[in-house]
Amino acid sequence: MKFLRILLPLIGGFIFTCSYAQDNEGQGIKIANTENASACNGTCCCDGNSQAPLGVMTDHIHNKGQWMLTYTYMNTMFQGNNIGADKVNDNTVYKNYMMAPENMSMQMHMVMAMYGVTDRLTVMAMGGYMSNNMNMNMDSKGGYMFMNGSWMYMPAGTNMGMQTSSSGITDTKVSALYNFSGIAAQRIIGSIGISLPTGSIKETGTTILGENQRLAYDMQTGTGSFSIDPDITYARKYGLFYWGADAGADVKLNYNSLGYKDGNMYHATAWAGYQFLPFLSGTFRVEDVHTDKVSGYDQAVDNQFYQENDPTSRTANYGGTWMNVYLGLNFHIMKPVLEHFRIMAEYGMPVYQNLNGTQMSLKSNLLAGLQYSF
């Protein structure tokens, strides 16, 4: 991941590589007319015919004048806690905090639109709506505690729970993808994305101090910062087999209006797939993600009471490294009307996670999507 952290900001907008069609001997076919080489056909990665997993969002370009709309539902689940790479129980968390996160769900509804400006240039916009729900356990060491806006006496060993939630629109991403390749067997597409801070960083809800209190960083639906999103992808298909790799970053450009910025995120993924039936293919994908700690702080969250009792209020308890594996399915029926649609799904689980400080463990990630091209 250190390699990605150095390389990706340097390569900037040269993001996306996609090489698909080969001749019968597996050798690339040189096309003299480079404009024709950039156009799509049923065997390459355009017109919704890409067989990359759903989690690889920018895996294709489009012909001039062609649109593609995608709806994706994502449900990310967290359960229990980690300190570094070690899974720990609530009693371990209680040694440093009064509260221990139990579980959390992050549900996102994302809409993406892509349009072919030319046969070489495609633009993309993506936004969504997020809902967060978190349950936390609390342990009393005995004595008076300030909870829900008042002082309460809690006998030692008293266990309680607290539930909080937030929802709202997410940040919006706009990108441009350009195909530099003049060879039909290969696509070299440079892309650059900019994330716009349309999501909220002032969501309120239930905390240990009561109702309508500023929620911690992981419960906000936006970042409040602009970011640059470079990415590079390689993909190839031969017969019924296909495979590829992708690497990218989300680099925050500024501190938000509350005085903090989320950690930069760097990711790399590789996948392989097989066309089981004319309308069905399956994928296996491995993903590595690294996120930096939060820089700065929100004064409403960075008070001493939160810091001593709620691990989600500490910026040092954000970021880390995750390695996840995914299984996916892609459905595409080449029949009238249905040929414009593609149904895709992926389910992933972590095989390794090493987290900064004390924070919730990733449990699973589910993606399901519907694409429509016209």
* Per-residue H/E/C for the chain: CHHHHHHHHHHCCCCEECCCCCCCCCCCCECCCHHHHHCCCCCCCCCCCCCCCCCCCCCCCCCCCCEEEEEEEEEEEEEEEEEECEEECHHHHCCCCCEEEEEEEEEEEEEEEEEECCCCEEEEEEEEEEEEEEEEEEECCCEEEEECCEEEEECCCCEEEEEEEEEEECCEEEEEEEECCCECCCCEEEEEEEEECCCCCCCEEEECCEEEEECCHHHCCCCCCCEEEEEEEEEEEECCEEEEEEEEEEEECCCCCCCEECCCEEEEEEEEEEEEECCEEEEEEEEEEEECCCEECCCCCCCHHHHHHCHHHCHHHCCEEEEEEEEEEEECCCCCCHHHEEEEEEEEEEEEEEEEEEEEEEEEEEEEEEEEEC
Residues in the chain: 374
At 234 the pLDDT is 82
* Cα–Cα distance list, 103 to 150, 210, 271, 321 (Å): 26, 20, 29, 19
At 145 the pLDDT is 58
At 8 the pLDDT is 41
At 150 the pLDDT is 55
Domain ranges of the chain: 2-373
At 139 the pLDDT is 82
At 51 the pLDDT is 73
At 5 the pLDDT is 44
At 120 the pLDDT is 86
pTM for the whole thing?
Answer: 0.84
| CA nearest to 357, candidates 119, 148, 88 | 88
Rounded to an integer, what distance in angstroms lies between the CA atom of residue 34 and that of residue 38?
A: 6
At 325 the pLDDT is 98
10-residue mean pLDDT profile of the chain (374 residues): values are 41 35 34 36 40 85 92 98 96 92 97 94 96 90 55 62 94 91 67 96 92 95 97 84 90 97 96 93 97 96 91 96 97 88 97 97 97 92
At 140 the pLDDT is 65
